[in-house]
């Protein structure tokens, strides 16, 4: 069986490396950064920087939900007017934090319970509580939440005119080698 650390940490790190490379591509695109950084899909949606805030927070929070004795998040609150540079720096800080988490700090906690309080939007008017087993939390909550915000950030940039494709989403940081052939 794959270890809890292997199930949890490498996908989060890879996703953050890729979204960081995508942000650098957006930054170099020549498209007005203020347009990209204020983009949103829906008027009630928070703007682009919040996607980076949410994915980095979830990446770091995933580890502390699994092991509450881990140090708290080193990530500062989101600045009032973030730039691509500050968002890229935030991603780098989250990656550094995750790289510091050892297998010994997560493995062996597969059967522990993770209890979450989920504040629903004001339109719902209530608070939900949910309890997961640790592996279930990683697979059914943490990763989907993280990837939702990675995809949303990618989609906002692509809709804003940044030349992105599926390969950018999968391997923008060049973490995996590919052999291209005309077969």
Domain boundaries along the sequence of the chain: 4-171
pLDDT classification of 174: cutoffs 50, 70, 90: confident
User: Residue 68 CB: number of other CB atoms within 10 A?
Assistant: 10
pLDDT at 77 (0 to 100): 87
DSSP 1-36: ---HHHHHHHHHHHHHHHHHHHHHHHHTT-S-HHHH
122-139 confidence digits (pLDDT tens): 666 678 888 999 999 999
Evaluate if residue 151 carries a pLDDT over 80.
yes
Evaluate if residue 108 carries a pLDDT over 70.
yes
Q: What is the mean pLDDT of the chain?
A: 91
Alpha helices in 67-142 (DSSP H): 84-100, 103-106, 134-137
- Across 158-174, average pLDDT: 87
70-95 confidence digits (pLDDT tens): 998 889 888 889 999 999 999 999 99
Q: What is the pTM of this model?
A: 0.90
5-17 confidence digits (pLDDT tens): 999 999 999 999 9
Does the domain formed by 4-171 have CATH 3.30.70.20?
no
- Across 146-175, average pLDDT: 91
Percent of the chain with pLDDT over 70: 92
Q: How far apart are CA 176 and CA 4, in angstroms?
A: 22
CA-based Rg of the chain, rounded to a whole angstrom?
Answer: 17
39-73 confidence digits (pLDDT tens): 999 998 999 999 999 999 999 999 999 999 999 88
């Amino acid at each position: 069986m794959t270890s809890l650390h292997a199930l949890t940490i490498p996908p989060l790190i890879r996703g953050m490396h890729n979204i960081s490379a995508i942000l650098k591509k957006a930054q170099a695109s020549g498209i007005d950064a203020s347009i990209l950084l204020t983009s949103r899909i829906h008027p009630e949606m928070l703007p682009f920087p919040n996607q980076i805030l949410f994915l980095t927070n979830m990446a770091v929070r995933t580890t502390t939900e699994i092991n509450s004795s881990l140090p708290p998040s080193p990530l500062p609150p989101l600045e009032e007017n973030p730039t691509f540079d500050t968002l890229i720096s935030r991603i780098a800080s989250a990656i550094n934090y995750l790289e510091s988490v050892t297998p010994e700090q997560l493995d062996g906690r597969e059967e522990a319970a993770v209890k979450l309080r989920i504040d629903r939007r004001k339109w719902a008017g209530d608070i939900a509580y949910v309890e997961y087993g640790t592996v279930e939390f990683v697979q059914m909550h943490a990763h989907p939440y993280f990837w939702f915000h990675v995809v949303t950030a990618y989609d906002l940039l692509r809709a804003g005119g940044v030349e992105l494709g599926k390969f950018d989403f999968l391997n923008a940081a060049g973490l995996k080698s590919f052999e291209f052939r005309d077969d």
